[in-house]
Amino acid sequence: MKASFASLEVSPTEQANAFPSEAGIRALMLAVLEDGIHSLRSRNSLVRAEAELWMTSRERRYVFSFAVICEALNLEPGAVRRSVIRVLAGKATGRRALKRSRPNVRHTGALQRSSARGKAL
């Protein structure tokens, strides 16, 4: 028995759900970038070394390579590298080196612990 896919109809809803949205892909790429940057401060030397290797690589063949992620997020990879190095070296200029990933979140004053003691961090 032969089957023909030409006669199959796909509803617009099924088409929309067939592939992840561009916003979802960008959010995932941003999460990968943030995780890589946070990994540079890891106490585990292997995690730190892998993050350094990933960030310094010029590789562009893989979707989640550092350069591809930066470019997909409209960031210049070299500028991101320099900013991260400057921040990790303690030479931050006082202005934001990187854009906030959640610009709608504002933190004012000391952060509070959620424990019963309520001591400020």
Question: What's the rounded Cα separation, in Å, for the pair 20 and 104?
Answer: 24
In the structure, how many helices (H) and strands (E) does the chain have? 5, 0
Report the C-alpha dihedral over residues 83, 86, 89, 92, rounded to 10 degrees. -100
Q: What is the pLDDT of residues 82-120, one digit of tens each?
A: 999 888 888 555 555 455 555 555 655 555 555 554 444
Q: What is the pLDDT of residues 16-62, one digit of tens each?
A: 665 667 788 899 999 999 999 999 999 999 999 999 999 999 889 99
Q: What is the mean pLDDT of residues 61-75?
A: 93
Q: How confident is the model at residue 76 (pLDDT cuts 50, 70, 90)?
A: very high
Radius of gyration of the chain (CA): 21
